[in-house]
Every structure is written in C-alpha cells, then in structure tokens.
C-alpha cells in the first residue's frame, strides 16, 4: 500500500472564526490557487511567531502555490525555509516509492528543534497523497527611514538577488549593529529586476497621503510594482480594501492580495503577544493596542483568501502571476572565489607549485610513492572542480597567521587531504591516518569542501583585519551566529512579561 503524505501537525487553530468568512475548510478541488507573498518569520526577531520550517510545512498543508519569506530588512529566514522544503521533497519522493514510513525528521541544526511533517496515519492533519509542494520565493520586507510605505522586494532572477543583497548590505553598514537604515533613494538605485509590492499605512487610519511615495518608485520601475492589500480583521476590511483599490487605481498600480502573516497557525497568537512585550519592554497587562486583536495573522488557504477578497478577485489571481515571475532559486547560487593568481601565474598552477614544494619540506628524505599518487589524484580533482582559488585563499590566511606567530590549526575533514597537509593547513601526517579523501571533496556532491582553521583567541582579530585589508570590507564578512533562548532564559523573560517580580522569578 502506498504511504500517504500528511503535511502538518496536531496544533489546533486552522480556520477562520464564524462571522469572518470561516466555517468548514473547502475541499481541495474548490481551493483557488493562491501564493502568500508577505510572510514574517521569527528571523524578524521579537515579531514573527513561527519558524521558517513551520511556515513552509503549513503552506504545503494548505496547498499554497508559493510562499515568500519576507523578513524585515533581512533574508535570514529564507535558508531554513529552503532546507525544510528540500526535506519535504525528499520525504515525498520516498513515500511515492513505497519507502518506509518516516517519523519526524530534523531539517535544520539541532538547536532549532524544528521538525517537518511525517508519513503516518495517526494524525489529524489533512491527507495529501500527491501534494504539490509550494514554490519558495526569497525576498525581504524593506522598511525605509524616509517613507511610511514599506516594500516587499522579490527578486525575479539571480542579478536581482545580487542587487537585493547589496541593497541590504548598504543599509546595514550605515546603521548601528542590529539595524538597517534604508532610504527611498537606495531602493530607486538597486530595485531593478525585483517585484516590488507596496505596503502603505492603513488607509482608514493614515491622514497623510502616500500617493507621492508610491509614484516615485512606480515611475522608476514600470511593470515591476504592485500595491499590497492586507485585511486587518477588525470589521472594516471591505471598506479598507475598497480604499486601497482606489489608491492603487490612482497610482496606476495593480492591487495584489497579501496576508501579512506573522504565524503559521492561530495558536501562536499568545506567543506573538509575548514577543511584542519583549520588543516594547512592557508587560502583558499594559500592552494596550499593540496586542493582536485575534489570531488571523496566520497562513490561510486560497479558499479563505478568496472569501476575504471576493470583491477583488483579480488581486488574488495576481499572487500566482507574481510567483510565476519569480524565477530565482537559492540553488542558483554559486560561490565565486577570489582570484588568487599572482604575477600572472594561474591559480591552479600556483596551487600545484606550492603543493610540490610542500612535498620537499614535509618529506626531506623523499615522499612515499603512496603520497605522490594521492597528491596527483587530489590535484586532478581540484582542477576538474575548479577549487584551486579556495585552497589558495586558506593557504594565504594560514601563512599570514604563521608569519606573525599566531597559532593556528586546520581540523575536521580537511585532515583527509594530502594537499592541505602539504600546504601547511593541517599538521597530521597523512600516512598516520586512514585517508578518505571523498569525505572532504567530491564531484558528486557538487559543493565546496569545508576547511576549518582555528586561530588563537587572543589574536584572532588580527587575522580578521588582515582579511578585510586584503579583500576589502565590501567583499568579506563574518558568518552569523543565531543565539537561541534556552529554557531557563525563556522562562525568565516570559515571567517578566507576565509581571512577576524578580524574587518570584
């Protein structure tokens, strides 16, 4: 019997309340095609109440055509969403092949504790035998310092992705740590090739006109711009959507439906309120109007959105049209290594020269034939996959550290490489261990090897500054470390939000 794919979890809270277009969920055949283009994950810190993995999984459960992760001035949440979607695809393939039933699977690092759905029959989630997984759209929500209008930026191709990352880098470099200062002029300079969806202030609350803010961008990027319309679930949505439609018409902008999502299920509303309190530095008793009025800032099916936008059906159809235009995929990215050629000597030739020089200083009495054979094999593979610049970059960094007396040591799978040993990156003699070079580098994997080098803590900053000086600050960066709340710290912060005194905590 072919296993069935169950996408979702047992968490309650999936339907609209009665009186807001809810009722029972429509059948899959009656579910209009819809792409959610405005989703905030918990990588918009202290705002989003769901992990990217949860959002992608829920989108698959709802049968959405696409989902765009659009965190505030950030692309950080997209990577985990991409990993989760890959895992869902793998599980779906195994199910179609009558593979074994699979329980919950980890899809990111273990510290996130996030899981994707499993193949089993003991769940109340909908059963989707051959569910088409949603398309993932990478994007960002651009918040400008000189305009009340926010913009969803969705790159349509690889050059547009490059411009978006450059735009965000500019904003972060000019701002204090943890902030991003972007102006409308930045968007006008770097927005080419992106779908730009304007999110104006609430037209029922905002007295200052926003038409001029819209027109400046619309005239710069004709055919790329849309006006996003999001319900607020306060009883005034039809008037709000009608007002937005008039604004769109006046600015010559097609209107598109968005959910302005903060959570994958409405059960996360209490957590969203706690996060708001942490962000504002207040308690739950005095959060006031900043509290969410309900749990409707969740992912919705096409049928639910169709009911909300029944007077504006074209706005719903445009979501899928926009998703179709967004052809960029994260797997289109390839790292471009610095050109490490020196004095006209190509990178591969330089690597081979340094490696053979290493044979002499590592083995003054002559290298064993086995080592010579391994060297030729590794150099041939490095040439085929064009990784010579990568090895040279690591070599040059290590050589700088040692020239300054900075202790350093290569470790990990790089110990399986004779070339790394001959370059001085690692110190373990290859003849003393069982080498499995394929663990380190492989054409089949299609990804660069991982060379880890540890530097002494007290002088690590010297190495970092040398890298900045050599390659330029605009071409070098530090990887981000995401700090997670541990149980005790999380309990302590929530207790503060609840108004408990320090002695009680």
Residue 212 pLDDT exceeds 80: yes
In angstroms, the CA 413 to CA 120 distance is: 37
- Write 400-408 long-range contacts (CB < 8 A, 24+): 400/463, 400/466, 401/455, 401/463, 404/459, 404/462, 406/455, 406/456, 406/459, 406/462, 406/463, 407/455, 407/456, 407/459, 408/453, 408/454, 408/455, 408/456, 408/463
For the entire predicted model, the pTM comes to 0.85
Q: Write b or e for each residue in 118-134: b if 16 or more Cβ atoms lie within 10 A of its Cβ, otherwise e.
A: bbeeeeebbebeebebb
The predicted-structure confidence for 434-461, as pLDDT tens digits, reads as follows 767 777 887 877 778 889 999 999 999 9
Tell me the DSSP string of 409-433: EEEGGGGG-HHHHHTTS--S-GGGS
pLDDT for residue 7: 39
Which domains are delineated in the chain?
A: 34-70+137-332 (3.20.20.140), 347-471 (no CATH)
Q: Which residue has the higher pLDDT, 186 or 4?
A: 186
pLDDT single digits (tens) 363-396:
999 999 999 999 999 999 999 999 999 999 999 9
pLDDT for 108:
44
Mean pLDDT is lowest, of 19-23, 139-143, 276-280, 431-435, for 19-23
Residues forming beta bridges with residue 153, ordered by sequence position: 140, 196
The per-residue pLDDT for 327 is 98
């Amino acid at each position: 019997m072919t296993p069935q794919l169950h996408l979702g979890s047992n968490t309650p809270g999936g339907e609209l309340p009665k009186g807001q277009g809810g009722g029972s969920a429509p059948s899959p055949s009656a579910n209009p095609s819809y792409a959610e283009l405005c989703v905030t994950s918990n990588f918009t810190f202290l705002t989003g109440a769901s992990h990217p993995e949860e959002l992608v999984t829920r989108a698959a459960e709802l049968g959405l055509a696409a989902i765009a992760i659009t965190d505030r001035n950030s692309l950080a949440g997209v990577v985990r969403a991409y990993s989760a979607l890959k895992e869902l695809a793998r599980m779906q393939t195994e199910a179609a092949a009558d593979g074994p039933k699979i329980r919950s699977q980890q899809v990111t690092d273990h510290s996130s504790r996030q899981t994707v759905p499993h193949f089993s029959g003991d769940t109340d989630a909908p059963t989707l035998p051959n569910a088409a997984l949603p398309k993932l759209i990478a994007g960002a929500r651009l918040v400008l310092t000189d305009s009340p209008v926010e913009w969803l930026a969705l790159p349509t191709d690889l050059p547009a992705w490059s411009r978006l990352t450059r735009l965000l880098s500019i904003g972060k470099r000019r701002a204090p740590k943890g902030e991003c200062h972007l102006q409308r002029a930045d968007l006008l300079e770097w927005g080419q090739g992106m779908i730009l969806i304007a999110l104006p202030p609430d037209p029922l609350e905002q007295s200052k006109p926003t038409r001029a803010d819209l027109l400046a961008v619309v005239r710069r990027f004709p055919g790329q711009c849309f006006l996003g319309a999001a319900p607020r679930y306060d009883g005034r949505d039809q008037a709000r959507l009608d007002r937005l439609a008039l604004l769109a018409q006046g600015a010559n902008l097609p209107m598109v439906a968005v959910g302005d999502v903060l959570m994958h299920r409405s059960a996360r509303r209490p957590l969203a309120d706690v996060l708001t309190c942490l962000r504002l530095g207040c308690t739950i008793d005095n959060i006031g109007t900043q509290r969410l009025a309900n749990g409707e800032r969740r992912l919705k099916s096409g049928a639910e959105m169709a009911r909300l936008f029944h007077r504006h059906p074209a706005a719903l159809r445009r979501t899928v049209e926009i998703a179709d235009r967004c052809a960029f995929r994260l797997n289109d990215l390839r790292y471009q290594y610095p050109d490490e050629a020196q004095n006209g000597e190509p990178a591969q030739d330089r690597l081979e020269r340094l490696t053979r020089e290493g044979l002499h200083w590592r083995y003054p009495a002559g290298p064993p034939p086995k080592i010579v054979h391994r060297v030729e094999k590794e150099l041939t593979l490095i040439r085929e996959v064009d990784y010579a610049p990568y090895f040279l970059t690591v070599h040059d960094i290590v050589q700088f550290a040692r020239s300054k007396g900075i202790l350093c040591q290569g470790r990990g799978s790089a110990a399986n490489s004779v070339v790394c040993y001959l370059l001085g990156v690692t110190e373990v003699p290859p003849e003393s261990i069982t080498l499995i070079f394929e663990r380190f580098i492989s054409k089949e994997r299609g990804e660069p090897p991982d060379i880890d080098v540890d530097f002494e803590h007290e002088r690590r900053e010297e190495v970092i500054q040398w890298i900045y000086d050599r390659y330029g600050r605009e071409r070098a960066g530090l990887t981000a470390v995401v700090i997670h709340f541990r149980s005790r710290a999380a309990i302590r912060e929530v207790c503060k939000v609840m108004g408990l005194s320090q002695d009680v905590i």
